Chains A and B, each alone.
Chain A
């Protein structure tokens, strides 16, 4: 009997040697005359256990990790093919608390299936949402997405259904569906994980958007830092086309839907939707003034739905199980689930999909196990480089859009970066300004010039030069950037800066340091 072994092909697993492990498993199985089949799955998201090797047994899948190539011989000796005990063993994968406690809707298949197997995808509920959508009118699809309460997972949290309705109602000879897979926020990797681990779900979600709006062409704009995701998505597009799921006619009988993946070129601002559209058109990624909304005049001036990867990949589940089933998860105006990404100085870093409403403390301390270094936790940054820094005492806040806004923070794309007590928050504030200066598209002055001035002012504060005056100057500058910037790059950079200043004033008041030589 062939035993199935799963070794992730996810880039995070590869970064810890998954290919070498897969190779060693294959070689040693051959040498021992054992009949195994190695499947390169996506990641389960328990990234501290990568490479996580799973074996299919009569009991279910049994997990071992983190496995190094040098551990492989001892795994065979321990009889891991039948789930034997080993120091790296974790028992049944599904019973590992970090996984068992999740509510996996969007990521249900991720890590379970072979990402590029259409048969696997279908066997695990794939294309059920698309099939349901095929039987509906565009208006009914849009209504379902609206009723689900899904809000954009890219950061701005705009209701997805409303965006789709605008594009549906627009009249044009060509409409586009664009997926924002630029995922530039530090501390986030959900888009990458699902593109590498369940790429057909993105194709399915975008095809449903095509049906809903009458768009017949789609683009997936993937950041160039993600070569693995780009490769998997391209393969998935090709096989979905040859299987007749997309292309000339959706599922062989619907309207056309042609999909293409494009690479970004290393610019954080190209995650901003209008800048992304300019970049797709082959231009500098400069932010456009709104209106017009992309849903009215987007890519090449045509009505365009642009959504984040997780927004699109949430839709197949909503269509398959119903809008109210999705809206049953979550609380208040934050409905459904969010793939939270635990990152930085954390013991058990990984992706945790959960209904909105869980506390930050549960995520960071209980599930995440506190800091990786073992030192006290001092700050968490939530929502990427434009998100606020929160002190440890704010960890009792509930994860939901409104609750975080109430403490002057934001959910963003759902990344939580943990810092221990060695962090210097004045340096973090400086970095926020520096990042904005480096990545600004240059279109408006408050951002382009303001960020540079911000770096200078913080440098002076660190150097002990006129601290009170410079603090007032920094606050003024932040107000100017917040009020006067064209987009959220300049508009939200004050969030990390001011939160550092508000919650950690002592770090701006340390014994003077000489001015940075940079």
Chain B
């Protein structure tokens, strides 16, 4: 099974029904196969295209409504392509106590980017997460699956500049 995230270098592929069917067929035998398949589809394509829904319903013998319901329930499953890089900013209590909200404000003021948004060139998506398990080294973030501790404004600027290919 794939990791929890899409690698930075992998450009999300367009939807391809044949490949989607292959992913589904490979994992459909698992007990409770839907989540592992949705993770694998996210990994392969960078998101879960809604055109997967009938394929999943058929392969797992469940209703389309159930598939939809599951996809929409989890924060991880995105139904539209994300940026090539994904920055998850922790905004839970331990990180609040170390000023994560000032990072959010800085991102908005300096880079016109808010959690939930993607840069127009689709280089970088920013998401809110609640706890990355790095609460003794807050504020924490995760960039393309790599954990960051003691994130500060300068580092944040660097991340945005590196991702969008603009050097200061």
Contacts and interface: CB of A to CB of B under 8 A. Distances in A.
Interface of A: 11-12, 14-16, 47-48, 50, 183-189, 191-192, 224-228, 230-231, 234, 262-268, 279-286, 300, 341-346, 349-350, 372, 381, 385, 415, 417-420, 423, 428, 431, 435, 439
Contacts of A234: 1
A397 to B, nearest CB: 19
Instruction: Say whether chain A's binding surface is mostly helix, strand, loop, or mixed.
Output: mixed
Given A265-B35, A281-B32, A344-B98, A189 B74 contact: no
A333 B95 CA distance: 33
B136 A48 contact: yes
Contacts of B4: 224-227, 230, 263
- Interface of B, secondary structure class, is loop
A7 to B, nearest CB: 16
A300 B138 CA distance: 39
Nearest to A435: B130
B75 A14 contact: no
A47 B137 CA distance: 7
6 contacts: A12-B147, A14-B147, A16-B150, A48-B137, A284-B70, A344-B138
Interface in B36-70: 36, 38-39, 60, 66, 69-70
A191 B132 CA distance: 12
Contacts of B133: 11-12, 183, 188-189, 191-192, 225-226
A430 to B, nearest CB: 11
Contacts of A263: 1, 4, 35-36, 39
Interface residues of B, number: 47
Given A225-B129, A350-B136, A267 B94 contact: no
B132 A14 contact: no
B89 interface: no
6 closest A-B pairs (Cβ-Cβ)? A349-B136, A282-B34, A266-B75, A186-B92, A265-B74, A15-B149
Nearest to B42: A265
Contacts, number: 165
Nearest to A351: B136
Contacts of B36: 262-263
- The winner among A225, A266, A345, A420 for most chain B CB atoms within 10 A is A225
Given A15-B147, A265-B35, A281-B32, A431 B93 contact: yes
A507 B97 CA distance: 16
Given A230-B3, A283-B66, A417-B97, A12 B75 contact: no
Given A185-B131, A230-B3, 7 more contacts: A225-B129, A226-B133, A230-B4, A263-B35, A282-B70, A344-B93, A349-B135
Contact of B135 (A188, A191, A227, A284): A188
Interface string B74-108: 11110000000000100011111110000000000
B154 interface: no
